[in-house]
Structure formats: C-alpha cells, structure tokens
A = this chain, B = another copy of it.
C-alpha cells in the first residue's frame, strides 16, 4: 500500500498549502530554501554546505546564502567542524524544528480537508 492521490487532489493540496503559507506572518521561503530546510530536518546528519549543494544539485553560494537567511530566522545554525576546520556543520534549532513541525501539520490538515 502507498499514499494515493489523484492529480486534481494533489494540485488542490498544493494550492491550499501555498495559500495558507502566504497569509502567515512568516516571510515565505523560496523553493530552494524549503528544500534545504527539509533536507536538514529529514535527512540524517551531518549536513555540510558541500553536501547540501550536492544533494540539491545547486552551487555552494546558494547554500551559504540560504543558511545566512534561515540562520537570521533562527531556523538553522552553523558550527565549525572541530575535526576538520574547513567544514561547516549545519544543525537544527528548536525554532526550526517547531517551524517544520507546524508546516507538516498544516499539510496534513489540508490533505484531510480535500474533497474525494
């Protein structure tokens, strides 16, 4: 068994989530920022700039800038790797975990309300 969605339901779901996100106070993340954030919170650590860039298939400055922005939002934090000081380890934060959790709940809620 797997999650079954019809295309029109999928689109309606995306629309409803997008509408909800837009109307929240929080400045909305770009698609790339969202992908980075979710990767940090869903994929197993450690997460480095280079690793994230490879995972998303984007350049490193994209990751650096996204971490700047989301770091200012307190959604992620950066730490130098003490074993190899070239590396930066990206870590989760309490605020970030809460944000991701709320986001997941919002999607679930919109999915529940979908017409069949």
Contacts and interface: CB of A to CB of B under 8 A. Distances in A.
Interface of A: 1-15, 17-19, 21-23, 28-32, 34-35, 38-39, 41-42, 55-58, 100-101, 103-105, 107-108, 111-114, 116
B56 A19 contact: yes
Contacts of A38: 11-12, 14-15, 18
Given A15-B39, A42-B12, A108 B22 contact: no
A56 B3 CA distance: 29
A102 to B, nearest CB: 9
A14 B31 contact: no
Contacts of A116: 1-3
Given A34-B18, A108-B5, A11 B100 contact: yes
Nearest to A57: B23
